[in-house]
Amino acid sequence: MSDTVFVTGGAGYIGSHACKALRAAGYAPVTLDNLSTGWEDAVKFGPFERGDLTDRAWLDDVFAKYAPIAVMHFAAFSQVGESMTDPAKYWRNNVVGSLTLVEAAVAAKCMNFVFSSTCATYGDQDNVVLDENSVQLPINSYGASKKAVEEILANFEQAFGLNHVIFRYFNVAGCDPEAEVGEFHQPETHLIPLMLDAISGKRDALTIFGTDYDTPDGTCIRDYVHVCDLVGAHVLGLKWLMDGKGSRVFNLGTGQGFSVREVVDHSRAVTNMDVPIIEGERRAGDCTKLVSGSERAVVELGWTPTRSNLKDMIADAWRWHQSGHYEK
């Protein structure tokens, strides 16, 4: 039996780490990516097929070529601010692309699907630890598009028996401790790499978007998960499906939130360097506080995050930042 797993977005930040984790777990990852935001240099752990998820004929060809046992679906646009100003881009790519992928998977009788969703589907629910039963009320097109894909998966399970595991998480951070793959976006939008760019002089300063939130220091609070812990959960989710345990939703988080200023303070301790700061206005679509509990993943999947603390996340990202990477 084939042990091939399709990894959409496998040339991106999380997807490339997932390919490394899958390879280490004995699977054969195949990256599907159009390189709109990914980097071919990140594809190091298996074959690469370049194409777009809205192209059904291409999908049918690659499913026939590899006959995968499962799909691990990361490919998506994910910038909250952009999703507020260009919603059509998010609905077309994230929803139509995902629908086409799901249809192709079912047609190829590939009935195990692991989906990278987001706590942004919950919307702005402050001062609570979100669990899988929390009401989903997204406040931006990014969160809404991910919620729509969750509903597509539920519909396809009911109609065709598509087994799926959905992971909802928010801020992914850190990099491969061995610095084989890491985090690099153009443009960069994530807090820790932006901060490290400011520390190293690659940008003039880190802009803090909003300092008047109802939090202890006025900046947004988020729950950060190390990318290696995150993709480890995805491998466990795949095994869950392969063991015939059925469809399930899991949150992935630590249950502890850190403000932007707290992340900055930790970076000073890790790098022994100062962070130049500019205080800016709030961004549309940003929530005040998002903290995601993971008791279900811990109890049912046996997930044990080991690097999801700010020290390790920043140190691993700093190691990657200082190494040669995809920037050319």
3-state secondary structure of 313: helix
**186 CB burial (10 A radius; 0-12, 13-18, 19+):** exposed
> Phi and psi (nearest 5°) for 56?
-65, -40
Active site residue 142: yes
What is the C-alpha to C-alpha distance for residues 9 and 28, in angstroms, rounded to an integer?
A: 15
- CB-side neighbour CA atoms (13 Å) of 250: 31
Cα angle vertex 254, ends 253, 256, to 5°?
Answer: 120
On whether the CB atoms of residues 44 and 19 are closer than 8 A, the answer is: yes
What is the C-alpha to C-alpha distance for residues 65 and 71, in angstroms, rounded to an integer?
A: 14
What is the C-alpha to C-alpha distance for residues 290 and 282, in angstroms, rounded to an integer?
A: 16
**What do you get for the CA distance between the two ends of the chain, in Å?**
40
**133 CB burial (10 A radius; 0-12, 13-18, 19+):** exposed
Catalytic residue from among 27, 90, 122, 142? 142
Residue 127 CA: distances (Å) to CA of 130, 215, 244, 279, 291: 9, 10, 36, 24, 8
Residues serving a catalytic function are 142
